[in-house]
Amino acid sequence: MKSVVDILNDRISAAMVRVTGRQDCAAIVRSATDPRFGDYQANGVMALAKQIKTNPRKLAEEVVAQLDLSDICEPPEVAGPGFINLRLRPEYVARELLRITSDKDRLGMEKGSEPQTIVVDFSSPNVAKQMHVGHLRSTIIGDCIWRLLEFQGHTVVRQNHIGDWGTQFGMLIRYMYQGAKVSHMHGATTVFSVVDLSDMEEFYREAKRLFDADPQFAEESRRYVVKLQSGDRTALDDWRLICDTSLSECQTIYDRLGVQLTRDDVRGESFYNDKLPTVVADLKKAGLATESNGAVCVFPPGFKTKEGEPLPFIIQKSDGAYLYATTDLAALRYRVNVLQAGRIVYVTDARQIQHFQMLFKVAEMAGWNQRDGKAVGLVHVTFGSVLGEDGRPLKTRSGENVKLKDLLDEAVERARAVVQEKNPDLPPEQKAKIAEAVGVGAVKYADYSNNRTSDYVFSYDKMLAMDGNTAPYMQYAYARVKSIERKAESRGVSIQDDLRDLQNLDLSEPTELDLGKHLVRYAEAIESAAADYRPNYLTSYLYELAQKFSAFYTECPVLDAPPDKRPTRLLLCDLTARTIKHGLSQLLGIQVVEQM
């Protein structure tokens, strides 16, 4: 996928090579810091001049003399200590717009030339525990990342690394028999209890309460753990029932969020259960794992405790139990060797930074990040917390974690009011549909539009505001462009006819050119969002697009434009709508509505 920036980078770097004879030249083309000086600037000459000890301005002039960008840009200008300023030519913008517009599916963006197999590990809630707001972030950020990578042409494998194994299942299974009408017969298939499994959170909380309060319950729970670990059929059936129930609750949320995860993507901790002894044995054999206070540990260099002692990555406890770390090592090997990953991307909150740094280091020490002599890329994509209006982690009024379902329900409820106000005469069914799209979209968009590494304050009022960088604003912008098109049709103007034989565009109005340039830069936004795993680059782009469209639409009549002007303007409308729709629905998984 070559964006304008890529082309400029290639050409300017090549000119730098020609002038200096050095191979390691990077043009470093960025968006112009000040639009008065152009659209882009190349910053690379300064560093190069320093390296070869020459005057940067002079070098920049020599590079410009070697450069032919006349098909894309106005003549480049050298500025300041050695920047090269670049301004796109209207003819280039027009040509690009025509090219993009003729590509129905991909808006003129080719797939990348170096496709990889990329595993994205995201969502990954813990079975039967609360799926909390942190999992909302992992779920939707992860979903956006795989959509971006997939669009770039990579083969993306989703992995939902759910926490579905561990001692908590003993008490959950024991709890299933609480009040059961049928007594449990060993060896029989699962005995359904009267316990309501439909609300897993409640179920877990109750089991935990009993575990802490009732010693007999606790003792029986421990026995179930042993049964489960020794592969007892009935215990396993019960465990599976718990997992299934919990997962179907998750699936409801995924579907509602427009997240593409399915049951096929689930490869939870339990999957690696039989691969854990080998992990420990192999690390011991390689001389990397040692015993320390009865536990088996790896001490990756560079990690220290607060006291300055080497920090252990514990892979087996003294009682023989394996840990989160062990499972992650097994999962990593599986992803590298079986799934054939060229890159693995893990999406979790920032509290797990150290875990992943140590995991990656240990994998490297053991050579497990290598396949066919090549290092597999290991990436930890982190995010901050969702805060309440009081600046503390988001909780309900009674201090409990907020259930995702309740959170979405409330957003949709409030969106209903927005729709009601905007469009009271729509049929109720359509109103409900729009409210769902706006409410769920608002929650997602608010999350995406924040820099993922910072915390953000969750505010229904802000995310549902009709102005500002919000889902309803974007959805409305889309609906507005669509309404222009509907109006055109009602006046007998066919956009298709207007655009069919269009050979040339007239971008003589500044707001036309400005909007056109922005439309041409969509590929750039996608690329940078994918490169840094940052959905907010995409939301910023879309927000700017909506604003530029507004400026254009205020200045330039479309349907009442002179006949020679109308096709260009209709094209700008059409491409704006298609770009917003593509960004929202294809890449962010947020529904657009034709009317709002």
- Given the rule CB under 6 A, which residues bind ligand ARG? 121, 124-126, 161, 163, 328, 331, 346, 348
Compute CA distances 497 → 78, 143, 570, whole Å. 44, 38, 11
Contact at 8 Å (CB) between 28 and 44? yes
- Other Cβ atoms less than 10 A from the Cβ of 168: the count is 20
Backbone φ and ψ for 590, nearest 5 degrees, come out as -115, 130
- Other Cβ atoms less than 10 A from the Cβ of 489: the count is 11
**Shortest Cβ distance from residue 231 to ligand ARG (Å)?**
23
Between residues 161 and 578, which has the closer beta carbon with respect to ligand ARG?
Answer: 161
Between residues 279 and 577, which has the closer beta carbon with respect to ligand ARG?
Answer: 279
**Shortest Cβ distance from residue 129 to ligand ARG (Å)?**
8
**Shortest Cβ distance from residue 262 to ligand ARG (Å)?**
18
Between residues 329 and 438, which has the closer beta carbon with respect to ligand ARG?
Answer: 329
Between residues 123 and 470, which has the closer beta carbon with respect to ligand ARG?
Answer: 123
Contact at 8 Å (CB) between 395 and 402? yes
**Shortest Cβ distance from residue 348 to ligand ARG (Å)?**
5
Between residues 30 and 205, which has the closer beta carbon with respect to ligand ARG?
Answer: 205
For residues 33 and 41, give the distance between their C-alpha atoms in angstroms, rounded to a whole number.
8
**Shortest Cβ distance from residue 265 to ligand ARG (Å)?**
13
**Residue (of 437, 506, 447) closest to 478 by Cα position:** 437
Between residues 66 and 352, which has the closer beta carbon with respect to ligand ARG?
Answer: 352
With CB atoms as reference, the residue minimizing the distance to ligand ARG is 124
**Shortest Cβ distance from residue 323 to ligand ARG (Å)?**
11
**Shortest Cβ distance from residue 136 to ligand ARG (Å)?**
12
CB proximity list for 181: less than 8 A, separation 6 or greater:
193, 194
**Shortest Cβ distance from residue 57 to ligand ARG (Å)?**
51
For residues 277 and 283, give the distance between their C-alpha atoms in angstroms, rounded to a whole number.
10
Q: Both tokens of residue 214?
A: 């009732």
Sheet holding 377-383, edge to edge: 155-159, 117-121, 343-349, 377-383
Between residues 298 and 556, which has the closer beta carbon with respect to ligand ARG?
Answer: 298
Between residues 271 and 541, which has the closer beta carbon with respect to ligand ARG?
Answer: 271
Contact at 8 Å (CB) between 481 and 569? no
Contact at 8 Å (CB) between 266 and 250? no
Catalogue the E-assigned strands of 112-186: 117-121, 155-159
